Structure 1
Amino acid sequence: MQFHLNGFHPGDPDVQPAAEPPHSADLPETLDVLIAGSGPAGLVLAAQLCQFPSINLRIVERRAGRLMMGQADGIACRTVEMMNAFGLSERLLREAYWVNETVFWRPDKDARHCITRTGRVQDTEDGLSEFPHVIVNQARIQDYLLDSMRLSPRRLEPDYNLEVVAVERDEQGQYPIKVTLRRTDQARLGELVTVRTRYLIGCDGARSCVRTAIGQELRGDAANHAWGVMDALAITDFPDIRLKAAIQSASAGNLLIIPREGGHLVRFYVDLGDVHAQDRERVRNTSVEQLIATAQRVLHPYTLDVKEVAWFSVYEVGQRLTERFDDSLSTDGREREPRIFIAGDACHTHSAKAGQGMNVSMQDAFNLGWKLAAVLEQRSEADLLRTYSQERQPVAQELIDFDKEWSAIMGARPKDPEHPEDGGVEPAHLQDYFVRAGRYTAGVATRYHPAKLTAQPTYQHLAQGFGIGTRFHSAPVIRVPDAKPMQLGHIAQADGRWRLYLFADAAHTRLHDLCRYLVNDPDSILRLSTPADADVDSVLDIRAVLQQPHRSLRWELLPELLRPAKGRYGLIDFEKIFTADSAQDIFQARNIDRECGAMVLVRPDQYVAHVLPLDAHEQLTAFLRPILKTPNGG
């Protein structure tokens, strides 16, 4: 973490200098961005945009205050990586339950009315991420993001007791979106408020008013299988109560057990079976006592004595998706600049079995947030915003396809060896599918296809472990000036900057030539895109990783670009140069060409955009020039 760049300031370095104008109690007449909904997607988006003092934004929420109990709980490895960019991963990991292993139970072959353990696997394969899969209440995740907003330059707090009731778009002026909001608090119930905004983002859930306003509709399979879910404090002799457990009983249904944070709380997903039209109302009215009784039957011969239920709900599995996540197509079929966007449950819904709903929703917002900031801060053209729907809608479709298969397997009864003709799922198949799907459930299987922000894999062989279109897979390095062991990926903050990692060639000649080009050539993307009065890394943050042991290097002889003077005093940045860690050599771990080296260009949302040779100077500029505005080069 870096601070004191522009002068010494005592106190908590997480508290950033406040922006002007300060946050006010009343909504202003005009905004740059209005976010509807303070769920995980809305808060990630708000926390991202809060990092930019020049952006005037607000987030409205129909509820009266912060969420106290959340529905979602699983935090994928990829989401922890994202939370690290916001400076929130340490707090999350300290509080959360770590999912280390998963166990599988099925009917005992000699006594089918009892269950027995049939398998035990590592939850996440080694090397998939430096972070674990964890469990923490959605409300706590939202608390972390709310704190990040409060400490940001915007000092942002949600405006509670306000819901969107109408949206109109015209093409006049700077603020083409007119939003009508209705107050939901008793003191001013029904009072209408109007605001105009440059951009509107609907994170307002499955019944989204914003989605309806842009003519989008959730389409997909009707819900036909029900599950009950409860968070409980209980006494039990079931031996795997502190492990994630998938349990199939012979006749009582299935059960998924997810231990919760704190060492005592446990979440039970209780299979309520298929739902038909004639009994849908009955299933929806399932009581918590019925959920407990079903869980007790599934766990036989083990006992379950529930002492307290903190929260419970009944829901039906249904996977639905909208065609687009923006309003780039008008009601009369004309293409136009997107101004209204939807994220999270507003554009895709699914079951909780895959544990990806909240995770994918937050990644929606992370994808959109840096793009909105780049456009509003005039670092990129507005056309960049078209890539949000183009990238995220296919990801949501993949989630739904996976969720359908996984939910079907989880909801199926176990196959009876004595009556195979009755169908069902082999417990071994359930375990095998879980292991094969590990990359997906960890959140690291997303790959963006070649397009404006993702290059063709022409030079992928130079750095095979940094797959173009996939998230940047961190690895250990040593920071040269202070010999600090650290994760390379952890230098990336949610600050909207692109990262260019230079993995040095064996002789360093290509590395030195590239740095000279970037600094001196008037056609280099660094010179073209960096504003004249800004720090050299304000748009493109360049870091180098060398192969030699850190003690053998002379830092003062390395390129000046990697030792930049910054801030009002021209202080030297000592955090740009790294070497491979002998305990896990990043060149070997990520299969980087040692002789030639490589450039790895990474987007602000931590996805690899391009891999290039160190001497591909013009190709780097050619890729980034359509993305970044060039105030110094026309």
Structure 2
Amino acid sequence: MAVQEKVEIAEYDVVIVGGGPVGLLVAYQLKRFGVSVCVLEQHDKNTQDAYGRAIALFPRTTEQLDQLDLIEPMLQLGFACRSSVTYKNGERVIPGRVWTFMESIKDTTYDFTLVLRQMHTEAILREKIASVGASYHQSVECVDFQVDASAPLDAPGVTSTFTNRKTQRTFKLKSKYLIGADGGRSFVRRHAAIPFDGDTSEDRWIRIDGIVETDMPINRAYGAIESRTHGNVLWAPLDNGATRIGYAFSPEIAAKYPDGVTQEVALKEAIECMKPFKVEFKEVHWWTLYTIGQRIARSFSTEDRRIFLCGDAAHTHSSGAAQGLNTGIHDAVNLGWKLALQIRGIAKDEVLDTYSAERLTAVQQLINYDKDIAMLMSHKWPAWYTGDPSADPYLALGELFEKAAPFNTGLGITYPANLLNQTGSSTLAVAPGSRPPDVELTMPGINRPVRLQRVTVNFAKFFVVVFTGDINSTRSSIQELERYLSEKGKDLKKHSAIGWITISPVTGCSPFEALGTRPLGDTYYDPTSLAHEKFGIDTEKGNVVILRPDGLVGSGGAISGPWIREYFSQVLKL
């Protein structure tokens, strides 16, 4: 009788199904912060569509990539777009509509839209996960997974099965968590029996990328060409001198082509939709025809906290507002640090529950916008509209984009109150769960500027930021907080996931002289008091702000130890 060979099952903290930008970004964060992770992608990236797909990275997304040390190679390749243009009947519409929010982005270093095709974004992320040693495999498909309900969260309770699509070899992996970043047809979502609510419309759009020559006067700005036959036509300048043209492929246009849509048809209608401007394609890199729909998973995680969904696996929508990749990156950032701290035994298990709750709130807002945007861009009125049917839908589209600008840029996205976002006694001008202003501070001694977002975000720590005030008014408060930390809060002061920073409106030859006492952590100066003003902090009394690892405001209050301990006692395993 033959002896059966024992099959070893590899084990990781996290297994990620899907190696697109969202899955890669989660993997990069986890591995960077000490968590073992394996990414498995069902496609062969050498043969999958080289171009196309997502192109626009908006300011909040770019800030997050910067905070993760990912943005520089993207800035080298991408097109930084700060302007927009609207044309109607060959004439420029002033003021413009739809993309004009790109011209008034404020309070961020990244005051532009970075246009970079997804193939480049993915290539950069693959290099980054290789640099941190994350395991990555292509042409591998997830065919099954099972969860051991009796296993505690710190044990590998998920067993997943994969098939190598080239060799047909099947193998298993064990992990504590499984993340589905495997697109709109997500196997992980379906196998986890998570409902995907929403619908698909009859509207279809075409997108085509290439090297284009045109007589359109302004052609390296984000453009909206208002057409009655092809919807609100997208003109998007891309990286490497390329351009994307997007238009609605209406039933009337489709009727002209009973044999279906080919690249020749896509090009012909792209040229037609741009009239009276002339367009000639010198190269065609990619094109697609797709159906518009909006769907959202009922939850982005299972009740047992073992399975999580990110990106298109959790939500799909039109490309009308160019939010797809941005939303997926926000998912990845939100989940990454929470999983990392929980797996390392630092954060409480309940922190994981905030991922689905927070991201569902933001994505539902996007879905609501997107339904109207998609209809208006197709030159149709939404079902709720009861006004003049002969009115111009593009006027309403421009108004909607203007209203949605804080959401579209990502700078105005906020999360509701939860154990991470505690209002407490906070009187801050920035609500907990919101992005703080990215103000400039000054480094002591050399007086060189530093950005608040760069000194208070590393995705592995919360930061307690002590905004001091007048020396005579706040010296005693700082000293009292220091005594509290030395006597009752040693675990807070020395905690690996808590950083301390002092921001002083008073400058001096040294932080000690500026404060009249020893600072808590590193000190930065706020000589114009702009940071204090933006946060709504009295420069006489001072205040404390707790920032989450992703940089969002967690809570705020007086310069006092007990409430700080109360906050962290709900979040961390002290």
Residues 89 and 300 (structure 1), Cα distance of their counterparts in 2 relative to 1, 3 Å cut: same
Cα distance, 1:326 vs structure 2: 1.2
1:291 aligns with 2:272: no
1:615-634 maps to which residues of 2 (within 5 A)?
Answer: 615=560, 617-630=561-574
After TM superposition, give the deviation of residue 32 of structure 1 in Å. Answer: 1.1
The whole-number CA distance in structure 2 between the counterparts of 1:291 and 1:49 is: 41
> Residues 252, 271 of structure 1: CA spacing in aligned structure 2 closer, same or farther, 3 A cutoff?
closer
Is 1:354–2:321 an aligned residue pair?
A: yes
Return structure 1 stretches of 4+ with deviation > 6 angstroms: 279-284
1:49 aligns with 2:30: yes
TM, length-normalised to structure 1 = 0.81
Aligned residues with identical type, % of pairs: 23
Task: Read off the aligned partner of 2:267 and give its amino acid letter.
Answer: I
Counterpart check, 1:58 vs 2:38: yes
**Residues 216 and 278 of structure 2 are in contact (CA less than 8 Å); yes or no, is this contact kept in structure 1?**
yes
Give yes or no for the alignment of 1:609 onto 2:572. no
Of residues 545, 549, 558, the one that matches 2:503 is 545
CA pair 370-122 structure 1, distance change in 2 beyond 3 A: closer
Which digits, 9 at most, give the CA deviation of each residue in 1:437-487, with x for residues without a partner?
A: 211110122211111111126323xx31x3211122211110114322121
Given that 2:58 and 2:326 are in contact with CA atoms closer than 8 Å, whether structure 1 keeps it comes out as yes
- Checking the alignment, whether the CA contact within 8 Å between 2:248 and 2:378 is kept in structure 1 is yes
Residues 1:28 and 1:58: Cα distance change in structure 2 (over 3 Å) = farther
Q: Deviations over 1:380-421 (max 9, x none)?
A: 22222112112111211111111111222222169xxxxx96
Q: Deviations 1:594-622 (Å, cap 9, x if unpaired)?
A: 1211111111122111011113x211111
Contact 2:52 2:287 in 1 (8 A): no
SS of the aligned residue for 1:520 comes to: helix
Amino acid across the alignment from 2:145:
V
CA contact (8 A) 1:481 1:555 kept: no
Could you tell me which residue of structure 2 aligns to residue 219 of structure 1?
Answer: 197
3-state SS of the aligned residue for 1:435? helix
2:160 to 165, 171, 179: 179
Letter in 1 for 2:272: R
Q: 2:184 aligns with which of 184, 206, 218?
A: 206
Distance change >3 Å, CA 28–CA 146, structure 1 → 2 = farther
**1:370 equivalenced with 2:349 (yes/no):** no
The residue correspondences of 1:157-196 to structure 2 (distance < 5 A) are: 157-173=135-151, 174-185=155-166, 188=167, 190-196=168-174
**Structure 1 match to 2:441:** 477
Cα distance between partner residues in 2 of 1:102 and 1:27: 56
CA RMSD of aligned residues (A): 2.7
Query: Counterparts of 1:175 and 1:273 in 2: how far apart (Å)?
Result: 50
Contact 2:437 2:534 in 1 (8 A): no
Aligned twin of 2:225: 247
Deviation at 1:552, TM superposition (A): 7.5
The reply to whether residue 578 of structure 1 matches residue 488 of structure 2 is no
State the one-letter code of the partner of 1:468.
P
Residues 397, 421 of structure 1: alpha-carbon distance in 2 compared, 3 angstrom cutoff: closer
Distance 2:539 2:456 in 1: 24
Instruction: Give CA deviations for 1:115-140 in whole Å, capped at 9, x if unaligned.
Output: 54343345153424221221111122
- CA distance in structure 1 between the partners assigned to 2:51 and 2:288 by the alignment: 12
Q: Distance in 2 between matches of 1:283 and 1:493?
A: 55
Cα distance between partner residues in 1 of 2:391 and 2:196: 31
Contact persistence 2:423–2:431 (CA under 8 A): no
Secondary structure, in 3 states, of the residue corresponding to 2:200?
A: coil
- Would the aligned equivalents of 1:343 and 1:364 in 2 still touch at CA under 8 Å? yes
Contact in 1 for aligned 2:456/2:547 (Cα 8 Å): no
Tell me: CA distance 1:339–1:517, structure 2 relative to 1, closer, same or farther (3 Å): farther
- Kindly provide the amino acid, as one letter, of the partner of residue 135 in structure 1: V
In structure 2, what is the equivalent of residue 229 of structure 1?
Answer: 207
Change (3 A) 1:164 1:551: same
Contact 2:17/2:182, CA 8 A, preserved across alignment: yes
Q: Secondary structure at the match of 1:158?
A: strand
Q: Residues 477 and 487 of structure 1 are in contact (CA less than 8 Å); yes or no, is this contact kept in structure 2?
A: yes
**Residue by residue, what CA displacement relative to the aligned partner does 1:38-58 show, whole Å, maximum 9, x if unpaired?**
1121111101001133x2211
Q: Is the 8 A contact 1:354 1:403 kept in 2?
A: yes
Q: Which amino acid aligns with 1:35?
A: I
Structure 1: segments with no counterpart, 5+ residues: 1-25, 108-113, 329-336, 415-419, 531-535, 564-575
Task: Find the aligned partners of 1:628 and 1:123 in 2 and give their Cα distance.
Answer: 39
Q: Does 1:322 align with 2:286?
A: no
Q: Note if contact 1:497-1:604 (Cα within 8 Å) is conserved in structure 2.
A: yes
Task: Structure 2: give runs of 5+ residues left out of the alignment.
Answer: 1-6, 382-386
Aligned to 1:80, the other structure's residue is in SS state helix
Relative distance call for 1:166 and 1:275 in structure 2 (3 A) is farther
| Letter of the 2:461 counterpart | R
Provide closer, same or farther for how the CA distance between residues 518 and 353 of structure 1 changes in structure 2, counting only shifts above 3 A: farther
Q: Indicate conservation of the 8 Å contact 1:214/1:326, yes or no.
A: no
One-letter code aligned to 2:491: L
Match of 2:20 in 1: 39
- Contact kept, 8 Å, 1:519 with 1:561, in 2: the verdict is no
Deviation at 1:290, TM superposition (A): 2.1
Distance verdict in 2 for CA 1:294–1:528, change over 3 Å = same
How far, CA to CA, are the matches of 1:236 and 1:589 in structure 2? 45
Residues 197-226 of structure 1, C-alpha deviations (whole Å, 9 max, x = no match): 111111111111111121113221222211
Q: Tell me the distance in 2 between the aligned counterparts of 1:280 and 1:167.
A: 45
> Structure 1 residues 543 and 552 mapped into 2: Cα distance closer, same or farther (>3 Å)?
closer
Q: Answer yes or no: is 1:521 the counterpart of 2:500.
A: no
1:620 maps to amino acid:
I
Aligned length in residues: 552
Shift of residue 92, structure 1, vs aligned partner: 2.2
- In the alignment, is residue 117 of structure 1 matched against residue 93 of structure 2? yes
The SS at the match of 1:222 is: strand
2:290 aligned counterpart, secondary structure: strand
Opposite residue 177 of structure 2, the aligned amino acid is: Y
> Per-residue deviation at 1:27?
9.0
